[in-house]
Structure 1
Amino acid sequence: MSYLESTDYEFIKYGITFKGILDSDSQFNPDFYNWHKVFVHYCDGSLFLSDVDQVDPTNNITFRGGRIYNAVMEEMLDKGMWNAHNAMLTGFSAGGLSTILHCDRFRALFPNTTRVKEGELANQSDSHFAGVIAANELRALLPSSCASKRDPNLCLFAEYLVEDVATPLFIAESAFDMFQIAYDFILTIPGLDPRKWENCSRSLEQCNATQIGIIKDFGTIFKKTLMKLNNSSSRGVFLDSCYLHTHILQSYNWIFFPVLDNKSVGKAIGDWFYDRSIFQEIDALNLYPQYCYPLSKK
């Protein structure tokens, strides 16, 4: 059973394409092709956490993402998910972060005999998250294991959450996440005009030397942050140097490239999920972002 959530605007605009980890073709997705798969659109803005009775009087908006999550889980359990032999909760972008926040709760839905693991790819921004926590009244809903140690506004950052996750977790990410760089990181640099990053955020070919340098600095920080986490034997890591925002729903990037330790991200996650091997690889060789697209001229 695979349950997916996403905020990627391409999927919202053009619809869901069941590729990558959702592909039903055994050639491209040998480990998960015959699973039951459920894709849940991310639509609440609170990482499926909020539960506020009052409707916002100014914008007539409700903040009840936690109820959406509960309703989806209840429906899936009624349809037989409780009887699954294998289950994975996964997502990318904000959906990846939501996966971390919910994975132990997801694990608790199944008997101990069910193999349950989580896969995630997340991006994050501190100022944005502080606003999310306030608007959705999330402070009391944040993991106490994190909020008791530090400023609760930091408890929507993956680096402060993963150490307390008990469920096996696989982190698949690029050190040069093109969305995170363009819409989060550059906003923290004084004097930079985000509008000048529009073309660079689409393609490395349209980035100038200054922008490439900034992207390089971001990757260095990201890799060092991930390396600080303890190497739990139950945690998988696939950190490449592609200029990408997601791997798991793109066929090419799921099964062909990038490759670390002679494995694609699809192969690495499959081996990790079925306990064939531990996978914890970080691309420390490439200091600059790489082209990881089919038919690329670079």
Structure 2
Amino acid sequence: MAALLLPLTILSLVTAGIVAVHNVSISLLDSAVARGAVCLDGTPPAYAYSPGFGDGVDNWHVFLQGGGWCHNVDNCLDRTRDPKGSSAKLMTEQNGVASFGGMLDANSTLNPDFYNWHVFKIFYCDGSSFMSNVEDVDPKHNLTYRGARIYDAMMDELLRIGMGNAKNALLSGTSAGGLATTLHCDKFQSLFHNTTKVKCVSDSGFFVHGEHFIGADWREAYFFNVISTHGLTNMLPTSCTSKFSPTLCIFPENLVPHIQTPLFLIESAFDKYQISNNVFSPSDASPRWINCINNLTFCNWSEIKIMKDFRYTFINTLKSTIENSSSRRGYFVHSCYQHGHMEYVRGSTCSLFVGNGLANKTIAQAVGDWFFDRSEFQEMDMLNDLPRNCTGFDDQPTLEKKCRDHIHH
């Protein structure tokens, strides 16, 4: 009886909004192996599923994990030694458990718009933003490039357990998962009836080409190698590749205008990952620059100037992309030195209280307003032209109290 009471008690606490983060078991989709939908090392793909409850039983949130890309054989082989290339390593390192926080959390107080939805997190182990589909296994290194098959197998599993009958469906992802969300958005929408509200949220997934900004050649060369390694030339949208080279079609500025499904962009104009990794190649990054990107207080004005130029490039690229889109987009573009938001209380549901709010809204409130058509949230921070640290100094209970008071008053 005690064993039964424990999960019931936890469910009651979650429903009441007392538990701030909940743990969810990680599962392997063993049925995917027969169709070749496997990680780089050949292990089955993994997911974590938290069922919906209450009036959220007909609503589904599918989240694509991020984690960069591998751009050559050696780099992909390195990934098989960690969770980004092997579900076996994932299960070992995380003890078979994933923590759902922020906009994935079942906390009704801190995540009121999405707390009782089905949440299905797909772990990233292919290094290609869930896009590769190479039939042959690398005979020398035993590497398997099958990200698109993983995505398709997971969608079939979701339909099997009931997602096809959704009233509301949201596809989202962070970083490489945000790019994957953009790439798969229309395909995701096609899974549903016309009566289903289907939208997508790309979190820190707008990786700019920046043709006239430092490092453009490096960014092009890097993604050319990603495309070549994973055989993506014929996997990218033909609406884009009919106009641009495949390399340019992995940059969202050339993808987003072709997407028909409503798409929301959560972005920083000082995206920490892009500034740290996509401005200079590893061989060109000076020790001074490395110190600067790791701690803004070490930056001199020439380095800050590079960051300000990145912001200028990012904002103007994004504005141009949205203007050329076939449908209106929602967006929240801030100036915090940050990358990734949705999975964390400080990054999404309580972002306003660590200095990251626009129009007096948290990121999660902005997404909720946009998803439920309460407003067309389109806000950019045009005032701050310097990168800001937005980590906050409050302890977690104090932060959550401020957040609760704001959300419910």
**Match of residue 291 from structure 1:** 389
Secondary structure of the structure 1 residue equivalent to 2:112: coil
Greater shift in the superposed pair: 148-157 or 12-21: 12-21
Secondary structure of the structure 1 residue equivalent to 2:292: coil
**Contact 1:21 / 1:29 at 8 angstroms: preserved in 2?**
yes
**Match of residue 159 from structure 1:** 253
Q: How does 1:181-192 map to 2 (within 5 A)?
A: 181-187=275-281, 192=284
Q: How does 1:222-237 map to 2 (within 5 A)?
A: 222-231=314-323, 234-237=328-331
**Match of residue 103 from structure 1:** 185
1:213 to 274, 297, 305: 305
Q: How does 1:1-298 map to 2 (within 5 A)?
A: 1-8=60-67, 15=94, 16-121=98-203, 122-124=205-207, 125-187=219-281, 192-193=284-285, 195-231=287-323, 234-254=328-348, 255-257=350-352, 258-295=356-393
| In structure 1, C-alpha distance between the alignment counterparts of 2:364 and 2:266, rounded to whole Å | 10
Identity of aligned residues (%): 45
Secondary structure of the structure 2 residue equivalent to 1:2: strand
**Contact 1:94 / 1:123 at 8 angstroms: preserved in 2?**
no
Shift of the 123–171 alpha-carbon distance from structure 1 to 2, 3 Å rule, reads closer
The CA deviation at 1:198 is 3.8
**Contact 1:187 / 1:194 at 8 angstroms: preserved in 2?**
no
Greater shift in the superposed pair: 53-62 or 142-151: 53-62
Which structure 2 segments of 5+ residues have no match? 1-59, 69-82, 85-89, 208-218, 395-409
The CA deviation at 1:24 is 1.1
Greater shift in the superposed pair: 201-210 or 94-103: 201-210
| In structure 2, C-alpha distance between the alignment counterparts of 1:41 and 1:200, rounded to whole Å | 31
Greater shift in the superposed pair: 231-240 or 170-179: 231-240
Counterpart AA for 2:351: F
**Contact 1:179 / 1:201 at 8 angstroms: preserved in 2?**
no
Secondary structure of the structure 2 residue equivalent to 1:75: helix
Number of matched pairs: 294
Counterpart AA for 2:104: L
The CA deviation at 1:196 is 4.2
The CA deviation at 1:209 is 3.1
Which structure 1 segments of 5+ residues have no match? none
Counterpart AA for 2:334: D
Counterpart AA for 2:343: L
TM norm structure 1: 0.92
| In structure 1, C-alpha distance between the alignment counterparts of 2:295 and 2:194, rounded to whole Å | 45
| In structure 1, C-alpha distance between the alignment counterparts of 2:150 and 2:287, rounded to whole Å | 35
Counterpart AA for 1:260: L
| In structure 2, C-alpha distance between the alignment counterparts of 1:208 and 1:57, rounded to whole Å | 49
**Contact 1:242 / 1:289 at 8 angstroms: preserved in 2?**
yes
**Contact 1:48 / 1:68 at 8 angstroms: preserved in 2?**
yes
| In structure 2, C-alpha distance between the alignment counterparts of 1:203 and 1:19, rounded to whole Å | 26
| In structure 1, C-alpha distance between the alignment counterparts of 2:287 and 2:128, rounded to whole Å | 26
Secondary structure of the structure 2 residue equivalent to 1:238: strand
Secondary structure of the structure 1 residue equivalent to 2:121: strand
Larger Cα Rg: Structure 1 or Structure 2?
Answer: 2
The CA deviation at 1:41 is 1.3
| In structure 2, C-alpha distance between the alignment counterparts of 1:69 and 1:33, rounded to whole Å | 24
Higher RCO, 1 or 2 (CA under 8 Å, sep at least 6)? Answer: 1
**Contact 2:166 / 2:196 at 8 angstroms: preserved in 1?**
yes
C-alpha RMSD over aligned residues: 2.2
TM norm structure 2: 0.68
| In structure 2, C-alpha distance between the alignment counterparts of 1:131 and 1:195, rounded to whole Å | 26
Alignment deviations for residues 92-140 of structure 1 (CA, whole Å, 9 cap, x no partner): 1110000011010100011111111000021534322111111111111
The CA deviation at 1:73 is 0.5
Counterpart AA for 1:166: Q
